[in-house]
Amino acid sequence: MRLLRETTELGPTTEAARQHLVQGLAREVGAAIGGAVLDLGHQPGAIDSVAAATLTGFDESSIGVFEALRTYGSGFNPVQREIMRRLPTSKARVITLRDDEVCTPRAWNAAPWVANYVRPARLNHVICSAKRLGPSRVEGVGFVRPMADRCFTEEDASVVDVVCRESPRLFESLPQAPPQKLAPRVRTTLDHLLTGASDKEIAQCMDLSPHTVREYVKTIYRTYRVTSRAQLIARRTS
């Protein structure tokens, strides 16, 4: 597959390669957002176990979809929870599942992650694939379609499964975050940003003007060498 070859040529453990793979797969399966994740606690009940992530397509309205998984664990996503149940802990294997394979539409829409984060972002259908690298080390990809779109198909699942199965390890070497030399108020702004709060909400919470919050956000972006909240969250988890 051309996408796999191009990813390998870019150097599979580089951020450029991960971006290329995630963006290419998102286009291939018609997803609005997606990402590749390294999870060091891929099991039910594990929280805050996402060690690294490369995201595509996220904006302020949808970043909460990922941030919820980073906070509550990959198992907060019903598809990932079912993958956890099926993925053996003792041997390398890839499992790919769609939301319509693990839930009825009613159960899917009632799931807290879907009801509180996915659907409010005008998104719905999900496909995920995970590959076991060690007893508690899993890397995988996940994609979400706009609410008005149809479910992912078996053909989509086949494409995602093959890429996840055949791709080299994506997270062998991770870049170090830059020194975090932030003033206390800027640090507090960063904490709010990572919860998904808007600039207006941060300003109200910290009793600051919107202009001051925007300046703090610019400082944070410069410090972490990013240009969006999605990139910031991904960088903070690397």
For 145-167, write each residue's pLDDT tens digit: 999 999 999 999 999 999 988 88
Rounded distance, CA 160 to CA 41, Å? 22
Residue 90 has pLDDT above 90, yes or no: no
Per-residue pLDDT at 6? 78
Domain ranges of the chain: 2-166, 184-236
For 113-125, write each residue's pLDDT tens digit: 999 999 999 999 9
Residue 54, CA distances (Å) to 66, 152, 207, 214 in order: 11, 21, 33, 25
In this prediction the pTM is: 0.75
For 178-206, write each residue's pLDDT tens digit: 455 788 899 899 888 888 788 899 999 99
CATH of domain 184-236: 1.10.10.10
Per-residue pLDDT at 12? 65
Sequence-separated (6 or more) residues with CB below 8 Å from residue 92: 131, 132, 133
Residue range 29-34: mean pLDDT, rounded? 96
Asked if the domains 2-166 and 184-236 are classified in one and the same CATH topology, the answer is: no
CATH 3.30.70.890 fits 2-166, yes or no: no
